[in-house]
Structure formats: C-alpha cells, structure tokens
Structure 1
Amino acid sequence: MSEATVPQTATPDEASGEGEHTHGHGHGTRTALAIGAIGVVFGDIGTSPIYAFRETFSGTVDIAIDRMHVLGVVSLIFWSMAIVVALQYVTILMRADNKGQGGSLALIALISRHIGSTKYGWLVVLLGVFATSLFYGDSMITPAISVLSAVEGLTVVDHRLDPLVIPIALVLLVLLFLLQRRGTAKVGALFAPVMIIYFLTIAGLGLNQIAQNPDILWALSPYYAVMFFVSDGLVAFIALGAVVLAVTGAEALYSDMGHFGRGPMRLSWFGFVMPCLLLNYFGQGAMIASLQPEQAAEVVKNPFFLLAGEEYRLPLVILATMATFIASQAVISGAFSITHQAMQLGFMPRLSIRHTSETEAGQIYIPVINWALMVAVIVLVLTFQSSSNLAAAYGIAVTGAVTIDTLLMGVLFVGVWKWKWWATLPVVVFFLVVDGAYFAANLLKVPAGGWFPLVVGLVAFTLLTTWSRGRKLMRDRMSEVALPIEIFAKSAKNSATRVPGTAIFMASQTAGVPSALLHNIKHNKVLHERVVILTVLIADTPYVDRNKRCEIHDLGDGFYRAILHYGFMQETNVPEGLKEMERCGGKFDMMHTSFFLSRQTLLPSAKPGMPIWREKIFAWMLRNAATAMDFFNLPTNRVVELGSQVEI
C-alpha cells in the first residue's frame, strides 16, 4: 500500500477555486453547454413529475382532493423548488466551487483548505463524507423508481399490461448497466435532444390544462402552502415527505457543476428546465382541481400520463421511459465520479477504473460499483414491486444530504467567505428550518422502506472512514521505522553492485526509504545506476496544471526523489507523467525502466489503533484493492512487486 495516494494541501495560487471554471470545455459556447447540461444533469429532477404529485395525494396519508388542498400542494411544490433548488443550490452553493467542481467532497476539500487545521476541521470532513455516503443509497433508488414509474404508465394505456411492468423495467435496468462499460460518449449525443423534447412535451401538456383552469395560478402565492399547514397540521407535515420528491436531484445539480460550469447550468435551470417543470406540476394540479371528487380520486393515481389524450399516452410512456433511462444513466455516472474522487482523496481503496472516452477524462467506468448498483437496483424492484412503494424509501437520503450541505454552507460562509456571524446565522437557520422539516418528514418513512438508504449510507460511511483511518495508521507506523534516504544513499552506493537501467520505487511518503527498495537491496544485492523514489500526491483541488505536475530532487550518487502532482479529478498516469521529467537524469526509456511496488500484509498489533472489527474490515479492503500497476497505468511487463508486513 506504500505506493497509494495521499491528499495534499494545494498552494494558494492552485486553490483559488472561487471563480468560474469550465475545465475541459473552454471552447464550448455558453448556450451549447447549457443545452448539453439539459441532457446530462437535469434528468433526475426532470423525471420527478412522473411520481411526485401522485405520491403527495396517494401516499401514506389521505388528503382531501379539493381546490384548497390541490392549491396547497402545488404551492408547496413551487416554493420547495424555489427555495431548495433555485435559491440554495443554483444561486448560493454553485458559487462555492473548488476550481469549478461541486459536490460534498469538493466542498469539504475547499473548506478544509481554510479551516482544516482548526479543532473542528475533522467534523467538517465527517459531515461531507456522510453526505457522500448517503449519495450511494440515492444512486440505487433513483434508477429503480424512475424507470419503474415510467413503465407503469403502460397500465394507463391498458390495465391488462400490469403483469408486464416489472419484467420490462428489469430488462431496461439490466440493459442500462450492461451499457455502462461502453461509455456514454456515443449515445450521449442523443441525451440533450431527447430531454429537450421531453421537457417541451410535459410543459405543453401542463400549459394545456392551465389554460382550461387558470385558477391554479393562485398557487404561486405562499398563502395556500401556509393555509395547508394551518388547516391540516400533521397531515401537511407528513405530506412534505412526498412533496420533497419534486426536488430530488438538487444535490446532483451541484455535484455535476464541473462538467458544464456555473453559468450554463444556471441558464439551463432558470431559462428552460424550471419553467417546464412548474408548468407540468401546475397542469397536474389544474386537471385534478377541475374534476369531481370521484373522478379526481381515480385520476390522481397517475395524473402525469392522464394529462395526455388517450391516443398520445403510449408515445408519452415511451418518451418518459427514455427520459428516466437517461436520468438513471446520469446518476450511475455520478456514482462513478464520486467514487473516483473518494479514491483520490484517500477515503476509498484503489478500484479498477476504465476510461470510456479518449477525449473526455471525466467519462469513466468502475466495474465493481456498476455491478453492485445493478444488484441493489434489481433487489429493490423485486422487493418493493411498485414505484409508490419505492417512494417510501426515496427522499431520506436526499434530504439528509441537503441538510448536511446546509451545515457545510454555514461553515463556508464564515470560514471561507468571511461573513459575519450575524449575517450568516439567519440565512443558515432559514435553510435549516426548511431542509430540516423535509428531513424530519422523511424520517417517518423509515419503517416503510426509508431504512434502506440509511443502512446503505451507514455501511458506506463505515467503509470510507475505516479506510481513511487505517491508511493513516499504516503510514504512521511505516514512518516510525523509515530510514532517511540521504543516509541510505551514502551507505548503499558502495555496498551493492550497480547495474544498468532505471529503477522506480513507488512510495506513499515524500520522506524515508520505501520498503521495496530495502527488500530489493537485501535480497538481490544490486542497485540500478539510476534509482528514483516516486510519490504521487493528490491535491485537494480538482486539477493541477501540467507545469506544476513534476517536482524533482537530485540526492546524488544516482538517487532521485520525484513527486507527481495530480488533482482529485485527474487520472494518475505515471508513464505519461514521467515523460515530463527529462531533468531527472535524462529521459525515461520504458524498455529499460523497472517499477518496484510494495504490497503490505497486516499483522495483529498488541496495541491496535482502532477496534478489531474495523481492522478486519480494513484488511479485507486492502486485500481486495486494485493493484497499483492498474491504478497508475504502469506497463505490466515492467513491474516487480515485493511484500512486507506491518502492524497497525
């Protein structure tokens, strides 16, 4: 494990992440990026109208289907979208970018750069890691509920198709995961046109109903949302657990900011996506409010598809299914991306990563994550059987992550943006009241299925923190017995035979002698004419410029200390990095260069640094981590691996 990566504090000029960045697509125009964002980013929140309005009325509580309650629910959806998505995420949190990247891990990296050395720095990291852990639960439920809710539209076309819903949904979901290894570069070009047609369609359907019953526009007033709570109290509070389904995907907007940039994302949201969504929600409300109670009770079971005339329902089902397919694709890609970040920042062991595009570095495929998600999604569909049952499990992970982001936002205001506490407190309290209410309402779903994302989040949190802690203990133990390289170089130059070629010893630390070098000279009694001790450091910024990639120190007698710097969103390709190291005693010829890696075996310690059960988990993760050869893209026929033992 000595060759693994460690987080590194970036220099001030590297860390100025508060500006606008669109790394990797600077040549694209703002409008083109905004259109691309519609296809990739907004699928999750864009497919919520299929089930969100329905679940509010046909969920766990009975809400009277009359004008006042319909206006109350639509008003709640409107103000939830305005406060949580438009104000909190798109307007405020999108300003908190780490060199253009967003999301919980990027946010804690940004905050830690400013307050990481304080006594509360560890708490910020734990909050961010827990928010990330909850994302894995969300990434399992989103494909299941999205695709299943769309396919259920077939029962609106013909109720006799009901037995086919689950088989069709499972086939589509399995196909979705099988396609991941091929990447999204080719089919991705179709995402934006399909999603634009989808958004325009649902907006048109909603507008048609609003034109017939414009009275629904009174829901723009917060009065009806407030009156819903005044008149119904607990029922209205419980209904928040379903209303929040309308804003699921808000956190994903922030996480995906790095792909398109803050400006294009805001243009897409305010200029196109939000108006289309609101037109559809208001249209569903207008349709329900215009019906007699008996009719409304039937229509509210699937109002999204009933917005369309009978002859257009099957095309709408097909279009909605394509949209949910795209939404699920984005969530799965997000899981790959966040896993890659966690690996680079030291919260997860190395996993096998495959790049699916020669031009886009961010398009990656992680087999272990893909198959784990597929199994979880299949189990969810077979267990819950319907999107309404899945809705009971959906929302708690999202609202938990949003609430954590609100707390981190408060730290950001004070620690990074240097706001005064009297200005920060009312803003944070306001969002905590709103987000906390949604989270509390979703806690009521725990017995009915909400336990699932919480269990997934807890397991992920345990694994992430165990790996981070075990990794630190291992490095501390190795540092305690490390021999200074300067002393070793002087003593070794005359005690071993020098042979032609270059030997590169991968090391996790920038000081001391790696165990692989000690074992090599002990057993083989030789040293290469050029010995390079190479460390790969991962900065807490997404990208490190190429002119800052290399750091080289000549230790004399043919020994060199070399460091390669990468951002946590970049691929750690060591052979490519070595091409930029011409000053290190000449160019590197891969045919005459050998890479020496260390592989650690854990031994029981008399004074364990963490509980035994966590040590066993760490040892299991260590054994199953991908090899450094794969992770660093080392040539397979030029690698020598030497084992060593260490106590933690």
Structure 2
Amino acid sequence: MLLRQEDPKPTIPFLMGAIGVVFGDIGTSPLYTIKDCLSESPYGHDFSMIMGILSLIFWSITTVVSLKYICFVLRADNNGEGGILSLLSLSMRGASDKTKKYLFGIGMIGAALFYGDAVITPAISVLSAVEGLTVVSPSFTNYIVPVASIILIILFLIQQKGTETIGNLFGPAMTLWFLVIGSLGIYQIIQTPQIIEALNPWYAYQFFHDHGPHSLAILGSVVLAITGAEALYTDLGHFGKSVIRRAWLFMVFPCLLLNYFGQGALLLTHPEAASNPFFFLVPAWATLPLVIVATTATVIASQAVISGIFSMTWQAVQLGYLPRLRVDHTSRKTIGHVFVPTMNWSLLFMALILVILFKSSTALASAYGMAVTGIMVITTFLTSYLALNNWGWGWWKVVPIFGIFLIIDITYFSVNLMKFTEGGWIPLVIGIFLWAIMTTWKKGRDILNNQIHQSGRTLLNFIKNIEQDPPLRIPGNAVYLSSTPDNEPLSLTINLKHNKVLHEKVVFLSIITKDIPRVYHSEKILIDDLGHDIYQVIYYVGFTETPNIPNLFEKCDELGLHLSLQDTTFFMSRGIPVASTTPHLPAWREHLFIWLAKNAMNATEFYKIPYKRVLELGIRLKL
C-alpha cells in the first residue's frame, strides 16, 4: 500500500510560496522572449510580424502550459511527487522487461536534458535583467558580465537555507513582480487596444505565410515564452497540484499575457523600442528601478529549476541512478525540501562559465531552447504512454490529445536544431555527459549485484551451514548490511573466513528503495526470524525518503526485535570495482564506473550510522 502525501491546501502562504519558487523561470521570460524573436527577423518589425509573434506566444502558452502541463501532465503525480524520474517510475510499472529497457533509456535522456536546462536558466535569466542597465546608459555595457556573475554567486550561496525559507522570502517578491509586469502591460494595451486582435490564430498563420522559411528561426525564439513549464511538474512535490494550478490560472498566466501584449502594443506605435521592448515599457526615469526589480525577479526565477534539480538528484540517488551524494533536508515540516551541495556548486561553476563565454542573453538563447524542447518531447511521450497503459485511456482518446501536443513539441525541437552550432550543442553535451554517468552507474551496479547473486551464497545455505557446523558465538549484536536480501552479505563472508566467530545476535539488514515516493510506516519494516538468534530485516523506503539507521532501531524495538545501539557493531562491505580481463562494460564505461564508485559518499555517513560502531571490510570486485 502506498503512502500518499496530501495535496497542500491552497492557502495564501502556499500560493505565494509556489509563485516564488515554481513560476520564477517562466515568469521572467517576457524580459527576453520578444526581444530575441525580433532579433531573428531579417525584415522590419511591421504590423504582420508583431501580431504574428504575439499570436504564436499566446497560443503556445495556452496549449503547452495551460492545457498540456496544467490539465494533463500534473495528473501524472507519483503519490504527490513530480518530475521526469517520477514519471519514469510510473511508466515502468507493469511494463515488460523489454519495454522497461526502452522507457529507462528515454527517461534518462529527459533527466540529463533537465540538468542541461538547469545550467542555462540561471545564466540567461540574470543576464537578461542586468542588460537593462544598457537602456539606462550604454556606458554600463562593460559591467553586465561582472554584475551578473556576482548575483549568481549570491544566489547559489543562499541555497543551503532551503526551498521553504527561500519560498517564504521570494513569494512576496515574485507576487509583486507579476503585479508590476501585468500593470505595465495593461497601460500599453489601453493606449493601443488593437493588439488584442492578436488573440486570433489567423495572425499566426499569416505570419508563416508572409515570412516563409525565416519564420522558423523566429519560431525557435517563441519557445522561450514557455521555458520553465517543466518546473510546474518537477516542483509538484513541494507545493501540490492544486496550489500550482490556482497560482498559474489566477495570477501568473494573466499577468504574463498582459505584459506580452503590452510589449506588442508598444512596438506597434514605437518600433524603435525593439532593441529591448520590456524596459521601454516605462519612461526613462523608471528604467533603473525596473532593472532592480527585474534583477531581483530573475534571481528568483532561477530558483524553480535549481530546487527541481535538487529534488531530481535526490530521487536519482535513491533509485540507484546516481552514486550516493550528500543530501541535506532543509524542512522539518515538508518532505521533499532538500539541498544537494555537489549539484549546487557544479551548477554555479557552469553558469558562470556560460555568462563569461556568451556575455548576453540573446547569444545564450540559442542554447536554451534545445534543452527545454527536448524535455517537453520526452514528457509528452511518457505521459501519453502512462495514459494509455495506466490510466485506462483508449487510443481514440490518447492519439488526438497527446498527438497534438507531440506535434507542437517536435516542431519546436526541430526549429531549435537549426541553432545547434550557435550554442544549441551546449545542453546536449551536458545531457550526454549526465546520461553517460546515470546509465553507467545503473548498469555497473546491476552487474555487481548479479555477480553477488550468482555466487550461490544464499541466506538459506548460510543457515544450513550454521546448523551443521555452529561457529563460536561472542557477546554483542552484529548488523550486516546487504544490497541483496536473499544473499549472504559479503561482509559476513569475509568476517567468518578470517575471524571464525559470530555474534550472539545477528541481523541481516537490507535497505530497499521502492519506485514510489513514500511507504506507509506500518509497511516500512519486515522482520524475519531465521532461528539461532539470526534475523533478517528489510527496510523499505520511498525514493523521496532518506533511510536513518538509528531511527530504524527504535522501530525494530517496537516490533519485538530489541537491539541496543551501544552493543551493536555494523559490518559493511565496500565493494571496490576493478577492471576485468573479460569486462561486461565497454572500456570507457568500466573506467567511469570505477571512478564514480571511488568518489561516492561513504555508506556510513549516508545512512547516518555512528562511526564508532562501524567495521568496514573492503573487497575487490571485477567488472
């Protein structure tokens, strides 16, 4: 039975927290979307161009975000959790082994691309806001990169405070941001109400008709209006679908549309504002205050994807797709608020490199769309597979609904391929690197576990040997950790071989991560009395839970297995993979796995076991 996290009630604090964390990325897209669209145009910024771009932006946001993500993708919650790995876990349930293999490969590509997106988002968001200084005065141009770099460093330094604290801080600021951009848009729309006609999809059609092949390059920039949509799903576990839906429909969505149409209205009467239409929405005296507000908003904008990366990394570690990493829980009230130092500093380092290399948001926009559209294609595919196989939808319902979404996503991905040489290769390189790490780690662990399983040293045979040839028993308790419940732990094999003794009470402990976020407390622990004061304990955790061995002792005591932590020694085997003369992996994967294993977080620290109670035994395992 699954433990379902209750959907948080859509109270004002929760709504503002969601606005601060989830919608920052998509909420700051007006800073650069129309500007980048116009920069791709080889023609003048005529009426047809502006109305067509506005129409495309409106229908893209409505179709992709309001319909696909809000109405359908958010339904694919894995007991309250979202994100590409949660979606992958849901899709793989009940699938055949062959199908699981393909689904796993697709899901890993999506997860890897999300890491690529997470690197670019902070860089382009902060750059786009700081560039407003050039509207104040062209003399500020040389200060854009240094100022953006300092802001990024501050952003990543405060991440250790946790998503909950940051949400409480950022929520009111982003609420103000949306009210400001919505108000600026309303003012311009009142001046030129004709812009509302862009709601008619005919203008989008006419745009393609009038501008031919060049319209494809501009379409690749239109996708910037929906960047951040994946964060709505990835951060589902932080706020719940009800909160996210209401915040989007009643605050974020209308304010975004008002600002986009306000920029369009401005351009109809002042085409010279095309260099940076967002900042020209205000008179000259208000530009600097708007730059400050926009910079604050873009700092917050990066939070959506950063918190999403932390959540996904934690899930990947628990599911065995990444080596053990340090994960700090930052909220005592809400499950899922985590901080992953390794990812935090890695993202900061790569974001700084992008800022220094590209120097402008327009140059970086080419790299941005590739990752975003790739993730969207995979999310649509996996959700459609889930609807067909798990939701009980028929082909007659899946094909027309998700077929339309898939056509849109593939179209956006295809036009962004045109920008591959201009920077689109960056998220793909990052994605390939992360994909190689995750698939290699999963494959390497499977190989080692299979070798242990095929060794023939089962718990059943161990008990029979104990009965036939009882070893010397010594006082105290011994806990042997094992990744395969049916097999004799390697640490026990080594200990018996060298010391010829067994503690008076022995526990074989296996920690099993299930493909669900949380497990009921009543179903977390399974205790099996094997006789001779030997017990097997299986500790089940969800992929959003962190096992805590000292807490496990308390729960075992409640179930009748009395163990004193002070009288217990933990025996752990540290498998040291080494190259094999007959490897099961290609040479590059073999060396990568060995390197990952050496740098993985120590199991003692990961499981929060007191160091003084641990005896670690190393064993060399050939791949």
Task: Provide TM-score, normalisation by structure 2.
Answer: 0.97
1:86 aligns with 2:66: yes
Aligned residue among 49, 52, 59 for 2:33: 52
Match of 2:359 in 1: 385
Aligned residue among 571, 582, 605 for 1:607: 582
Distance across 1 between alignment mates of 2:332 and 2:351: 30
Counterpart of 1:448 in structure 2: which amino acid?
E
Distance across 2 between alignment mates of 1:317 and 1:583: 59
1:570 aligns with 2:549: no
Distance across 2 between alignment mates of 1:29 and 1:335: 24
Match of 1:14 in 2: 2
Match of 1:503 in 2: 478
Counterpart of 1:264 in structure 2: which amino acid?
V
Counterpart of 1:42 in structure 2: which amino acid?
F
Aligned residue among 244, 249, 256 for 2:228: 249
1:325 aligns with 2:313: no
Aligned residue among 312, 329, 349 for 1:375: 349
Contact 1:478 1:646 in 2 (8 A): no
1:110 aligns with 2:90: yes
Distance across 2 between alignment mates of 1:216 and 1:223: 14
How far apart are residue 186 of structure 1 and its match?
3.5
Match of 2:396 in 1: 422
Match of 2:283 in 1: 309
1:73 aligns with 2:73: no
SS at match of 1:500: strand
Contact 1:549 1:564 in 2 (8 A): yes
User: Equivalences for 1:404-443 in 2 at 5 Å?
Assistant: 404-443=378-417
SS at match of 2:572: strand
Structure-2 change in CA distance of 1:366 and 1:498 (3 Å)? same
Match of 1:131 in 2: 110
Aligned residue among 149, 162, 166 for 1:170: 149
1:398 aligns with 2:372: yes
Distance across 1 between alignment mates of 2:345 and 2:580: 35
User: Equivalences for 1:477-488 in 2 at 5 Å?
Assistant: 477-488=451-462
Match of 2:202 in 1: 223
Match of 1:64 in 2: 44
Aligned residue among 33, 44, 65 for 2:14: 33
Match of 2:322 in 1: 348
Structure-2 change in CA distance of 1:334 and 1:569 (3 Å)? same
Contact 2:127 2:360 in 1 (8 A): yes
Distance across 1 between alignment mates of 2:552 and 2:212: 62
Match of 2:185 in 1: 206
Distance across 1 between alignment mates of 2:303 and 2:569: 40
Distance across 2 between alignment mates of 1:274 and 1:180: 27
Counterpart of 1:644 in structure 2: which amino acid?
I
User: Equivalences for 1:426-575 in 2 at 5 Å?
Assistant: 426-492=400-466, 495-575=470-550
Contact 2:374 2:413 in 1 (8 A): yes
1:336 aligns with 2:324: no
Q: Percent identity?
A: 44
How far apart are residue 347 of structure 1 and its match?
0.8
Match of 2:260 in 1: 281
Contact 1:63 1:235 in 2 (8 A): no
Distance across 2 between alignment mates of 1:533 and 1:34: 46
How far apart are residue 187 of structure 1 and its match?
4.0
Distance across 2 between alignment mates of 1:174 and 1:103: 26
Distance across 2 between alignment mates of 1:454 and 1:71: 33
How far apart are residue 36 of structure 1 and its match?
2.0
Contact 2:452 2:487 in 1 (8 A): no
Match of 1:9 in 2: none
How far apart are residue 326 of structure 1 and its match?
1.1
Contact 2:266 2:281 in 1 (8 A): yes
Counterpart of 1:113 in structure 2: which amino acid?
R
How far apart are residue 486 of structure 1 and its match?
2.9
Structure-2 change in CA distance of 1:461 and 1:128 (3 Å)? same
Distance across 2 between alignment mates of 1:392 and 1:251: 18
Contact 2:61 2:225 in 1 (8 A): yes
Match of 1:142 in 2: 121
Counterpart of 1:41 in structure 2: which amino acid?
V
Contact 2:514 2:543 in 1 (8 A): yes
SS at match of 1:186: helix
Q: CA RMSD in A?
A: 1.6
Write out per-residue CA displacement over residues 22-66 of structure 1, whole angstroms, 9 at most, x where no aligned residue.
Answer: 46xx5x44444223211110001001000011000013x424311
| Number of residue pairs the alignment of both structures matches | 622
Contact 1:31 1:264 in 2 (8 A): no
Distance across 1 between alignment mates of 2:15 and 2:43: 39
Structure 2: 5+ residue stretches without partners: none
SS at match of 1:306: helix
Match of 1:42 in 2: 23
Distance across 2 between alignment mates of 1:187 and 1:459: 30
Distance across 2 between alignment mates of 1:489 and 1:447: 63
Distance across 2 between alignment mates of 1:439 and 1:520: 56
User: Equivalences for 1:608-627 in 2 at 5 Å?
Assistant: 608-627=583-602
Write out per-residue CA displacement over residues 244-302 of structure 1, whole angstroms, 9 at most, x where no aligned residue.
Answer: 000001111111112111111111111110000000000000000112xxxx2x41111
SS at match of 1:351: coil
Match of 1:6 in 2: none
Distance across 2 between alignment mates of 1:584 and 1:479: 29
Task: Provide TM-score, normalisation by structure 1.
Answer: 0.93
Structure-2 change in CA distance of 1:405 and 1:63 (3 Å)? farther
How far apart are residue 487 of structure 1 and its match?
2.8
Contact 1:85 1:250 in 2 (8 A): yes
Distance across 2 between alignment mates of 1:187 and 1:440: 36
Match of 1:4 in 2: none
Distance across 2 between alignment mates of 1:362 and 1:119: 31
Match of 2:616 in 1: 641
Match of 1:188 in 2: 167
Contact 1:30 1:263 in 2 (8 A): no
Contact 2:330 2:337 in 1 (8 A): yes
How far apart are residue 118 of structure 1 and its match?
5.1
